Structure 1
């Protein structure tokens, strides 16, 4: 859309000017006007204005620096009523088929086949009494306030990032004093990485600010125009109203896109034993940036081939007063802020836990919540299935410490386990694995095994999306698939009895919990070999159903038939 001061925009091989030279138009030419005559009420290019000035020496001619006065001059189209696609034309009509304001050119070019074209003065009657129009100033004011608040939050976020950078650099320099000259290169590498992350996130903030500022100003300009036209008749008010409606859609989209990222942030974690292992390291530590897509470490605390060992076990009670039965935990996932979401099958609840694993809120589902997966930001998807006709996905957002349902989808098949990767949800039905879009559309059945019930239970997907792990409760197996459903490996082991939950970390470490053998195992990335047993019944583990690895605390969080979560600290 050409702005008030934009000279022209090109469409194909033609130019559409905000003001075209009147004299050139009479000769069939398309030339941009640079001047306007108040007396003639015509536009002139640089060549034609010379002829005009010789003939009419006393006329007042305005140039481009006074272009605002052109729009107010007789014979020109008022800004509010001007067609954005054809700036020289006024909005006189509305296409009811497309619900779109039109000028005569719009109708001739784009709406010739439309069946319902109405004159704006006809449909604008009574606009002042329209409740939505009467609420327009308040709605605009509220929206502008939201935009202004978002801008202020982003400015504070930017300042916080700079303070964070200073704090991290101070820590880096404190470490630097304890070691030798080899740190020069490490310090440079780490600070460069930090600066790059800060620059990336400040660039995102800058874009958010620019989007907010532009929409804020556009809303203000339209409201100023509407208020100045209050006595000019109903059509201008109606046009302003309709333009505001369009801006509402655009502004809400901007706010949605911007508010999805609650806060950009960067954290720093010092390498353990840095003094002893200095010669083998390239940076001072781990820089993590977080936004609505969660924390994605650029370097993992644990290498891909790391063999985990346990440091301790601790149980956390998740039973609340309103629970009627003992808890059965069927799903666990962690949010970017460190909160944990669990599903309590027996009590038909989704529970929100703080970083200390205390229940701070819960949400009741109709019946039987199963798996849960993080889908971005503070949003999760929960499987709800009653073995009969209810096969649902509940999308829940965590807002100010509360669980809020945003939408629900009904599926044509059973849904017990959920995993998310890219723009898809992977849903297990206990005999098959289905791939759905985020809108619920079924893309394909990726894998199926009808040899028993529970052949496709827990599901986990590698960070790059190339490998999928599935537990087979019926045959005591861990199945490894590629991303088109081909079976790559089948793993069995005496400790692998009734495997239920499976989890893979961003670095590719694979963990499995087993219901009957009361164990948690680490398995190699190929899904062929047991690496280590990390927990068993003697450690407080009883019939585990699901597990999740928290990179924030370097812990495995395991849930099952008890009212407690078992948190296994690993190293």
Structure 2
């Protein structure tokens, strides 16, 4: 369990150390059993979405570290600037975005993000990348099989030719076999390098897809929004 989610945040404010069992997606706080019960009964928080802490911790560490606070001013990110494609706090607007016109409440901007075109585009990008790798890999594996079959065919032809020709062609046969093996070895090496690279890429895509599924299920909308921005760049 990570340090950021191991203890109940409410109890920590009371200088108590109690393990958190749930995570409030709206408050972005860990809750112990007692605080979770109180949280569910209070009028202001009874409609909040609380998930088991074990489920929340399935999110990658870089997503768990995402907060609603501005890194520069340590104030809550409330506004999104469409012009700069950037979330802003109150001080950011004054310092950097005072003349920007396309400012919108971040809560309004990320509303229904899971059904947004941008969300679907990122998911489609990952699926397309995975499918492309799969298709290329199958093609290279087919080429490797064809190369082996061609190698066997050529070997057979050379062996049959050797039977029909005189002994003075024995050295020619040996030279042809040696050349053939060298070429096959060279081409095998090239194809295996491609397959190895594709396997690494496949692993990366699988990791992104698993990460994306956990983010889609358990991350807050803000975490999801900021994660999408990061994934778009990486993919």
TM-score, reference length from structure 1: 0.24
Contact kept, 8 Å, 1:158 with 1:202, in 2: the verdict is yes
Q: Deviations over 1:230-274 (max 9, x none)?
A: 3421233224323432343xxxxxxxxxxxxxxxxxxxxxxxxxx
Q: CA deviation at 1:157?
A: 0.6
Q: Quick one: structure 1 residues 186 and 124, their matched pair in 2 at CA, closer, same or farther if it must change by over 3 Å? A: farther
Gaps of 5+ in 1: 1-35, 42-71, 83-88, 102-114, 249-571
**3-state SS of the aligned residue for 1:135?**
helix
Q: CA deviation at 1:191?
A: 1.5
1:183 aligns with 2:169: yes
1:195 aligns with 2:190: no
Match of 1:220 among 206, 221, 227: 206
Q: CA deviation at 1:94?
A: 9.2
Instruction: Give the helix-richer structure, 1 or 2.
Output: 2
Match of 1:164 in 2: 150
Match of 2:119 among 133, 142, 148: 133
Contact kept, 8 Å, 2:59 with 2:214, in 1: the verdict is no
Match of 1:236 among 218, 223, 227: 223
Q: CA deviation at 1:176?
A: 1.2
Match of 2:76 in 1: none
Q: Quick one: structure 1 residues 211 and 100, their matched pair in 2 at CA, closer, same or farther if it must change by over 3 Å? A: farther
Q: CA deviation at 1:226?
A: 2.1
Matches of 2:2 and 2:115, distance apart in 1: 40
Q: Quick one: structure 1 residues 240 and 216, their matched pair in 2 at CA, closer, same or farther if it must change by over 3 Å? A: farther
Q: Quick one: structure 1 residues 228 and 37, their matched pair in 2 at CA, closer, same or farther if it must change by over 3 Å? A: closer
Q: Quick one: structure 1 residues 183 and 244, their matched pair in 2 at CA, closer, same or farther if it must change by over 3 Å? A: farther
Q: Quick one: structure 1 residues 80 and 179, their matched pair in 2 at CA, closer, same or farther if it must change by over 3 Å? A: same
Match of 2:60 among 55, 59, 79: 79
Matches of 1:123 and 1:147, distance apart in 2: 37
Q: CA deviation at 1:80?
A: 5.6
Q: Quick one: structure 1 residues 94 and 179, their matched pair in 2 at CA, closer, same or farther if it must change by over 3 Å? A: farther
1:211 aligns with 2:197: yes
Matches of 1:178 and 1:223, distance apart in 2: 59
Q: Quick one: structure 1 residues 178 and 210, their matched pair in 2 at CA, closer, same or farther if it must change by over 3 Å? A: same
Runs of 4+ more than 4 Å apart = 91-96, 121-125
Q: Quick one: structure 1 residues 205 and 135, their matched pair in 2 at CA, closer, same or farther if it must change by over 3 Å? A: same
Structure number with higher relative contact order (C-alpha < 8 Å, ≥ 6 residues apart)? 2
Count of paired positions: 158
Matches of 1:79 and 1:160, distance apart in 2: 42
After TM superposition, the structure 1 = structure 2 runs for residues 111-130 of structure 1, keeping only pairs within 5 Å, are: 125-126=109-110, 127-130=113-116
Match of 1:316 in 2: none
Q: Quick one: structure 1 residues 154 and 209, their matched pair in 2 at CA, closer, same or farther if it must change by over 3 Å? A: same
RMSD in angstroms over aligned alpha carbons?
4.3
Contact kept, 8 Å, 1:124 with 1:234, in 2: the verdict is no
Gaps of 5+ in 2: 7-52, 73-80, 87-95, 98-104
Q: Deviations over 1:337-360 (max 9, x none)?
A: xxxxxxxxxxxxxxxxxxxxxxxx
After TM superposition, the structure 1 = structure 2 runs for residues 97-496 of structure 1, keeping only pairs within 5 Å, are: 125-126=109-110, 127-230=113-216, 231-248=218-235
Matches of 1:80 and 1:203, distance apart in 2: 38
Contact kept, 8 Å, 2:59 with 2:215, in 1: the verdict is no
**3-state SS of the aligned residue for 2:164?**
coil
Instruction: Give the strand-richer structure, 1 or 2.
Output: 1
Greater mean alpha carbon deviation, residues 228-237 or residues 168-177: 228-237
Match of 1:464 in 2: none
Contact kept, 8 Å, 1:226 with 1:236, in 2: the verdict is no
Matches of 2:85 and 2:202, distance apart in 1: 23
Q: Quick one: structure 1 residues 238 and 169, their matched pair in 2 at CA, closer, same or farther if it must change by over 3 Å? A: same
Matches of 1:94 and 1:172, distance apart in 2: 71
Q: CA deviation at 1:177?
A: 1.5
Q: Deviations over 1:339-387 (max 9, x none)?
A: xxxxxxxxxxxxxxxxxxxxxxxxxxxxxxxxxxxxxxxxxxxxxxxxx
